[in-house]
Chains A and B, each alone.
Chain A
């Protein structure tokens, strides 16, 4: 039986069991059952991602507005302009798709897909709650990093294919920035992995049942992760690829309609993934007070990080590209090496 007090994860697990029994009694093969289960989860996840994107765009508008003495959207839909984002989505859908005559048409078309699809896949290994994880892979975190780094390719494709000098500069800058900050990003989570001894997301969450890694020497890793993560999703102060005061809009200058929408959406989904990983690795994931459903405490932590990133964006100026590289290679990278050493010693001493 299920109870109202139980969380979404338990409900999902209960449903799976019921379904398994049903399949067993009907004699449906294991493979079909598995595919239906995962397919259902994937559909739920896609709905969740769409909603997340809407919520985050609305949140960004409201957060930025209130930090800047404005109200943000107030009219659309009645209550505090809640449906503004939906209206914008419809607008993007209806907008003419302009491909410049000089552009490489096919690369120009494919680039938004190349950035959008991988940004969805990262969601699969995020543990929203107990049992509520699409695929608890034994290389979990590597899958996220692997797919998220495809974004570099797409931004480069988009920037180059447009055959525009601004997009080209934006795309090249972006490529340089993202590969440079991918190293500290990947290395910063190594500390947690050494502490836990597993790459599995569920293991990492379980290891933080008593104390979040944020409150251990892994704090340094967390700081590196947040800085590198901000750079990885191209948000201020690292938003050079789309530095609008210099490069107009960077790599997506020549995009319009839904293709532009995909670039924008993937920025938000990537921000969510980065925040969700931070919540999982450093803030205990779905662990929380027993009266709170796991997914609620997970989302609360994630949105806290999302808010932090938005706060950065509306407070800081933008770094210059050479300083950005200096900071990444000459400071953050050595610091993340130091972090690994420090955690190694700490783990040994604790043992």
Chain B
């Protein structure tokens, strides 16, 4: 039998479990919203401007780098599985692959993309 069916069954059950919790909470909890209570928290002060503004975040560079490296990490998984049966030739291929990866990392490093400002 296909094992992914089990995964699917479990996802459905986990969703059900979460939903059951939320519905129970919805039924038993109190709800007395007020203007002050629903205000955005900012240490007790009136917030100056919203949070949804365009401002300088350095995180996106890491996100870009991550995509590159994560995709390549995924490539490594099938390689790792068959590594034992292929032997030395696989090692050489790995060296080339890692070499390219590392070159990319060094380039990003040199470029200052890994620098948090």
Using CB atoms and an 8 Å cutoff, list the residues of chain A in contact with chain B: 30-31, 34-35, 38-39, 41-43, 45-46, 93-103, 113, 116-117, 120-121, 124, 134-137, 142-143, 160, 162-168, 172-173, 175-176, 179-180, 182-183, 186-187, 190, 193-194, 197-199, 248, 253-254, 257-259, 262, 321-322, 325-326, 329-330, 333-334, 337, 340-341, 344-345, 347-348, 351
Contacts and interface: CB of A to CB of B under 8 A. Distances in A.
B18 A116 contact: yes
Interface in B1-46: 1, 3-7, 9-11, 13-15, 17-18, 21-22, 24-26, 28-33, 35, 37-43
Contact of B31 (A97, A117, A164, A166): A97
A39 B17 CA distance: 13
A94 B28 contact: yes
Given A34-B1, A194-B83, A134 B28 contact: no
A197 B87 CA distance: 12
Contacts of A198: 81
B18 A134 contact: no
A93 B29 CA distance: 7
Interface of B: 1, 3-7, 9-11, 13-15, 17-18, 21-22, 24-26, 28-33, 35, 37-43, 47, 50-52, 57, 59, 62-63, 65-66, 69-70, 73, 76-77, 80-85, 87-88, 90-91, 94-95, 98, 101-102, 105, 109, 114-116
B7 A341 contact: no
A121 B109 contact: no
A325 B62 contact: yes
30 contacts: A34-B1, A35-B9, A38-B6, A42-B13, A43-B13, A45-B10, A94-B28, A97-B25, A97-B29, A99-B38, A102-B40, A113-B15, A113-B22, A117-B15, A121-B7, A137-B7, A163-B40, A164-B41, A164-B51, A199-B77, A253-B41, A329-B62, A333-B69, A334-B105, A337-B101, A337-B102, A340-B94, A340-B98, A344-B91, A351-B87
B39 A163 contact: no
Q: Which 7 A-B pairs have the closest CB atoms?
A: A322-B116, A135-B6, A258-B25, A179-B66, A120-B14, A176-B59, A193-B80
B32 to A, nearest CB: 7
Contact of B70 (A182, A329, A348): A182
Max count, chain A CB within 10 A of own CB: residue among B26, B38, B41, B63? B41
Contact of A187 (B11, B21, B73, B94): B73
Contacts of A330: 109, 114
Given A183-B73, A193-B80, A257-B25, A46 B13 contact: yes
A83 to B, nearest CB: 19
A120 B15 CA distance: 9
Nearest to A103: B40
B52 A163 contact: yes
Contacts of A257: 25, 29
Nearest to B48: A165
B17 A46 contact: yes
Contacts of A99: 38
A317 B92 CA distance: 42
